[in-house]
A and B are shown apart, each in its own frame.
Chain A
Amino acid sequence: MIVFDGHEPATIVFLGNQLAGCGVNAGPAGLFPDNPTVQERTVTGSADKPELIDELLAVIGDHDQPHTLLCQKTGLMVDEMLENALYAAPRHDDGSLLFSKGQPRQLLPNEQIRLRYCFDGSRLALEVRDTWGSLTASQVFNFLALNTATAIPDPERAGRGLFFMWRFMDQFYVSIRPGVETVVGGCLQLRPVAG
């Protein structure tokens, strides 16, 4: 197994997904910190993404090399989580994408995307939830298998964003209530940078 950045790949926890044998209505409670410092932001459209990323980077700060690396990871994680919620989650009834990547868009009237985060100085918890519930457990496993199976570069390989989340986050979790909600979250740890 290839190890990057000195830590093992995250553990995947599926909650609220029949395929994982859990109750359909179970939520990811307990996986995200429950304290008053948790910040929650409601996304209104794709234009919110840069502002939200900047907000998080300002919270972490760019004090030294470990913080710089945490900022770089955070930027990518939030980018991928919001891209998933904005572009990969919304689907027609036949499963085809409603919006193409990069297309500026506002949220639909009944759609919600929420970002939650909490930084205690050394550990950043991140979570994004959308109201589609269109991802399936088998897709998640397939995406991760596809991206870990071979090092041969392939521009068309699917699920690369999810793979990045799994590789970089600690305690990565996906909670799916089919047709109702998808929650993707995990933690990033401030780590000394190897010299």
Chain B
Amino acid sequence: MHQELHVQYRPGFKRDSFLFQGIIDAHADQHLEDVVRRVSSPTVELDFSGVGRINSMGIALLLRSIKSLKSEKQAEVQISGLNQMNSMLFKMTGIFLMAKEVSA
């Protein structure tokens, strides 16, 4: 599993998809800003299947980015590829209130 975060952009028809690999923490700031900047489609899929750990700072950055995607880009945000722990964290922190989970 990667430690440093990598984000792979996968454009699609009316859909932007991003595959995250690594750890999401305080260092994810720039990566997540880039994700928001690149989105131009009405639907965005954030695929976390390559993510090991997301800490509290990473959750804060994700919340901020998803809020921006919805308010600035008017995008519907979909989430996929969560492991069991990260799925619990998303429930606890209300991320699923802003973005719906879909199958990868």
* Residues in chain A within 8 A of chain B (CB atoms): 2, 4-5, 50, 68-69, 72-73, 75-76, 79-80, 83, 101-102, 151-157, 160-161, 163-164, 167, 193
Distance, CA A4 to CA B93, complexed state (A): 12
Instruction: List residues of chain A with CB within 8 A of the CB of B83.
Output: 72
Known A-B contacts A73-B85, A151-B94; A102 and B53 likewise in contact (beta carbons under 8 Å): no
Q: Give the contacts of B4-21 with A (CB-CB under 8 A).
A: none
Having A4-B92, A72-B53, one finds 12 other A-B pairs with CB under 8 Å, namely: A2-B92, A4-B88, A68-B84, A79-B53, A79-B55, A101-B57, A151-B97, A152-B94, A154-B63, A155-B61, A155-B64, A164-B92
Of the residues B54, B84, B95, contact of A193 by C-beta under 8 Å = B84
A102 and B3 alpha carbons, distance in the complex (Å): 14
- Complex A-B: 27 CB contacts under 8 Å: A2-B92, A72-B53, A72-B85, A72-B86, A75-B52, A75-B53, A76-B53, A76-B55, A76-B85, A79-B53, A83-B55, A83-B57, A102-B25, A102-B29, A151-B94, A152-B94, A153-B94, A153-B98, A154-B94, A155-B60, A155-B61, A155-B67, A160-B56, A161-B56, A163-B92, A164-B92, A193-B84
B98–A4 CB distance below 8 A: no
CB–CB B94/A80 < 8 A: no
Query: If A50-B3, A76-B85, A101-B26 touch, does A153 touch B93 (CB 8 Å cutoff)?
Result: yes
Query: Chain A residues with Cβ under 8 A from B59's Cβ?
Result: 160
Measured CB to CB, the nearest residue on chain A to B83 is A72
Known: A156-B60, A160-B60. A4 touches B91 (CB 8 A): yes
A152 x B57 contact (CB < 8 A): no
Known: A151-B94, A153-B94, A154-B63. A102 touches B89 (CB 8 A): no
Cβ-based interface call for B27 (8 A): yes
For A155, list chain B residues within 8 Å (CB): 60-61, 63-64, 67
- Known contacts A5-B88, A72-B85; decide if A164 and B63 are in contact (CB<8 Å): no
Q: Are B93 and A102 in contact (CB under 8 A)?
A: no
Q: How far is the CB of A139 from chain B (nearest CB, A)?
A: 15
Query: A164's closest neighbor in chain B, by CB?
Result: B56
**CB neighbours of A157 from chain B (8 A):** 60
B89 — which chain A residues lie within 8 A by C-beta?
A: 76, 164
* Least distance between A194 CB and chain B CB atoms (Å): 10
- Closest CB-CB distance, A175 to chain B, in whole Å? 21
Q: Which residues of B contact A160 (CB under 8 A)?
A: 56, 59-60, 93
